[in-house]
Amino acid sequence: MADRTVVVIGAGPAGLRAAEALVRGGVRPILIDEAERPGGQIYRQPPPGATRPPSALYGLEAKKAIAVHAILARLGEAIDYRPRTLAWNVSAQRLDTLGPKGPDALDFDRLVIASGAMDRVLPFSGWTLPGVFTLGAAQIAVKAQGVSIGRRVAFVGAGPLLPLVVHQYAKAGAEIVAALDVTPFSAKLKNAPAMLAQAATLAKGLWYTLRNALAGVTIRSDVRAIGVEGEGRVRGLWWRDAAGAEHRVACDAVGASFGLKCETQLADLAGCAFTFDAVTRQWVPRRDAAGRSSVEGVYLAGDGAGIGGADVAELQGERVALTVLEDLGKRIDAARVAELDRKLARQARFRGALERAYPYPAHLLDDVADSEIVCRCEGITAGTLRAAASARDAHEMNRLKAFTRIGMGRCQGRVCGLAAAEVLSRTLGKEVAAVGRLRGNPPVKPIPVGGFP
């Protein structure tokens, strides 16, 4: 019997490991990826002409990056690799794509969604000024392009990405004028023992912090409020510390984000059931330990269905592939499954501690000014959201969307959705889970009316 169509979306660590394991199991998967080159965001490869040695690009992760990149070359014709291709809709067993040759549709039997994550952002004064980027963006600028986002740069974060980006900028010779962590230091101390269970990762964090200290950059914890100032572009950053004191620093660029957010659009369009993760305060598609979603034939791996990081993504990618093979009626290595499950369970304990150590700084949303833009695509302010909630009975997210256009811009709510839910829940005095989530619509990303450009 000919193999049936197995599609993997995303050529990051999860998707690549999934493709590799599928090939090992005798399947020739179709691997779809938006980027020009494999690696995902974490192991993103610069465009031709901007390449540098892996040690310069990926630091301590160079070996892993090399290994992940090597998968594709090794697999060669054993997979059907389709780079520069957007998967823009999935309905029933059909996947719609747009690639260099135009639109295409695939009828699949099994779909592995490894869509990854993006920076989680929230609105603060001045956040839409040119020169304010996410931490991930700041990292991509330096890694993939060899540029800094400005000459005098400030960073704000709420997760392990902050020390890493600070380290990368310091190493590249950029001037860092401030590095602010908005999570409380006490949360980190409290969760340190559990994080020790994954000593290697913790050591890496310490190593970056130490290197940052040597480079003269101190990360200030417990920052309570921030804002960016400037006319037309960034001129400075202010913050308020735990004691209530205000500080200011002149800068021309700010990298700021607050943890990671799963890219869940494809899973949503596929009809997967979602659950609210109370620790990270976001909706994620439900998956079982084997990687099955609630929809038959649709599988989830990597950060797209719960933030685990690159190492977890690799393990999940392989684990999900084994599930797909099993569901296709193929023999799989039970010992390997057990080993992967053991490793994943260990990682999950560490991850839980990490998430508690870097809680989502929802407190920054307590007093967002009415004038502040929440939806940067459409310029919808917090005041507009609050007014719709109180005067127009917008008591859940899709009503709020219908009345205010929140989530109706180019990004379709992937940037503002979670923050808008926080604003709505506070206005209504409800739990954030009770206001629901924005329903996804195709296309996953904008597509040209007249075909591919």
Q: Does 410 bind another protein (CB under 8 A)?
A: yes
Residue 101 is a binding residue for another protein (CB under 8 A): no
**Could you tell me how many residues of this chain bind another protein (CB under 8 A)?**
79
Name the 3-class secondary structure at 84: coil
Per-residue binding string, another protein, 120-139, x by CB under 8 A, is -x------xxxxxxx-xx--
Q: Which of 7, 27, 142, 272 binds another protein (CB under 8 A)?
A: 142
Residue 146 interacts with another protein (CB under 8 A): yes or no: yes
Please tell me whether residue 149 binds another protein under the rule CB under 8 A.
yes
Among residues 2 and 449, whose Cβ is nearest to another protein? 449
- Does 141 participate in binding another protein (rule CB under 8 A)? yes
Beta 253-256 vs 94-99: how paired, if at all?
unpaired
Rounded Cα distance between 153 and 135, Å, is 11
Q: Considering only the stretches 69-77, 230-238, 299-307, 348-356, report the one whose residues sit in contact with another protein under the rule CB under 8 A.
A: 230-238
Residues 368-407 that bind another protein (CB under 8 A): 376-379, 392-393, 398-399, 402-403
Q: Which stretch binds another protein (CB under 8 A): 3-11, 30-38, 290-298, 419-427?
A: 30-38
Task: Please provide the DSSP assignment of 337-371 as one string.
Answer: HHHHHHHHHHHHHHHHHHHHHS---GGGGTT--TT
Of 20, 33, 61, 96, the residue at the interface with another protein (CB under 8 A) is 96
CA atoms within 13 A on the CB side of 58: 21
Kindly state whether residue 414 participates in binding another protein, applying the rule CB under 8 A: yes
Within residues 161-180, the interface with another protein by CB under 8 A covers 172-174
Which of 181, 179, 189 is closest to 221 using CA atoms?
181
Residues 234-253 close enough to bind another protein by CB under 8 A: 252-253
As given in the structure block, the two tokens for residue 59 are 């630091």
Concatenate the DSSP letters of all residues of 132-144 into one string.
EE-HHHHHHHHHH
- Residue 201 vs residues 42, 48, 156: alpha-carbon distances, Å: 15, 31, 21
Q: Is 83 in the site for another protein (CB under 8 A)?
A: no
> 141 or 320, CB closer to another protein?
141
Amino acid identity for residue 416 in this structure: C
Q: Which range in 154-162, 225-233, 292-300, 352-360 contacts another protein by CB under 8 A?
A: 225-233
Provide, rounded to whole angstroms, the least separation between the CB of residue 94 and another protein. 7
Answer yes or no whether residue 215 interacts with another protein by CB under 8 A.
no
CA 72 to chain centre: 23
Residue 82: exposure state from Cβ atoms within 10 A (0-12, 13-18, ≥19) = buried
